[in-house]
Amino acid sequence: HELKVDCVFGTRFHRKSKIYDYPWMKLMINRMANFFIRVVFGLRYNDVTNAFKMYRAYVIQGTRPFLSPHFNLTVELPLKAIVRGYS
């Protein structure tokens, strides 16, 4: 059985996951940022800022041009993919 999807997003915050050696303040800021992104963009994903993602090549091509020069691309790319209708 093969899924026909364009993108796959992982999460650090699955209900069965455990987070080790992650500073409490950083975790709270991260969770608030993800909540804000979810509300503003109407997403169902709980960890947009993580780097555990996979994209088909045409999704990356279809989300260009990129505005973020470095780490912020981990947020820009999934948001553009979702807004542009990739699954």
Report pLDDT for 23. 93
Q: Give me the pLDDT at residue 81, please.
A: 94
Range of the domain at 36: 7-83
What is the structure's pLDDT at 18? 86
- Sequence-distant (≥ 6) Cβ neighbours of residue 31 within 8 angstroms: 13
In a domain, 2, yes or no: no
Asked if the structure places residue 25 within a domain, the reply is yes
Q: What is the pLDDT of residues 39-85, one digit of tens each?
A: 998 888 889 888 889 999 999 999 999 998 888 888 899 999 999 99
Q: How many domains does one find in the chain?
A: 1
Between 2 and 42, residue with greater pLDDT = 42
pLDDT tier, 14 (very low <50, low <70, confident <90, very high otherwise): confident
Is position 26 within any domain? yes
> Residue 6 in contact with residue 87, Cβ under 8 Å?
yes
Please indicate, yes or no, if residue 71 is contained in any of the structural domains. yes
> Is residue 1 domain-resident?
no
